[in-house]
Amino acid sequence: MNYLAHTWLARYSDDAILGGLLGDFVFGKSILEDWRPSVRVEIVRHRRIDRYTDDHPAVVAARALFGPLRRYSGIVLDVYFDHLLARDWQRWNDTSLDAFTSRVYRVLREHRDELPPRLHAIAPRMATHDWLGSYARRENVDGAVRGIATRLSRNGERLVECLAVLRANEADIDAAFEVFFPELIDATERLRIELASSSA
């Protein structure tokens, strides 16, 4: 899952939203000690969510659609799944997408001095260009993937090639999301309870 889904799954507190984002920017076990428990537990949950997503049969089947590009498909699916969440936002939420993304940007702004360098650098651009809200528009999936491709140290063109495969298989990938995402919601709630009890 990408930024929007991770923060949405962590929406029960501002510290959780921060941890939900940090999972993509801090690595290793020792770094966890740098964060207060309410943030640390969400970084761990982020990592477990990624593992659950990678192993889910519907996601495994969706990656298989990319054939020889399969190893790059995870990035494309993460961005596309954020699009599906944003596109059908009112199906999952009582509050608006704008209200939620504004909250995420506020959390980043209020904690900017704590952010690791890469997130510290992109947080203002994320808010200014409304990265999270922009996922609602299908054309921004391609733009986001092309932007990621430029930041890869190698094989960025292979990631861009995945976009044509995505277009050709959107119906099947949408169907995979319909199976996967409700199960992810249930799994992450169980994880939240488990991690909260183990850190108490």
Note down pLDDT in tens along the chain; length 200 residues.
Answer: 689 999 999 999 999 999 999 988 888 776 777 788 888 889 988 999 999 999 999 999 999 999 999 999 999 999 999 999 999 999 999 899 999 999 999 999 999 998 998 899 999 999 999 999 999 999 999 999 998 888 876 778 888 999 999 999 999 999 999 999 999 999 998 887 776 666 55
What integer pLDDT is reported at residue 197 of this predicted model?
Answer: 65
Residue written as token pair 């929007």:
4
With contact defined as beta carbons under 8 Å apart, do 188 and 181 qualify? no
CA distances from 57 to 41, 103, 130, 178 (A): 26, 33, 32, 12
With contact defined as beta carbons under 8 Å apart, do 188 and 49 qualify? yes
The pTM of the full predicted model, rounded to 2 decimals, is 0.91
> Domain-by-domain residue ranges, the chain?
3-199
- Which candidate, 63, 52, 50, places its Cα nearest to that of 3? 50
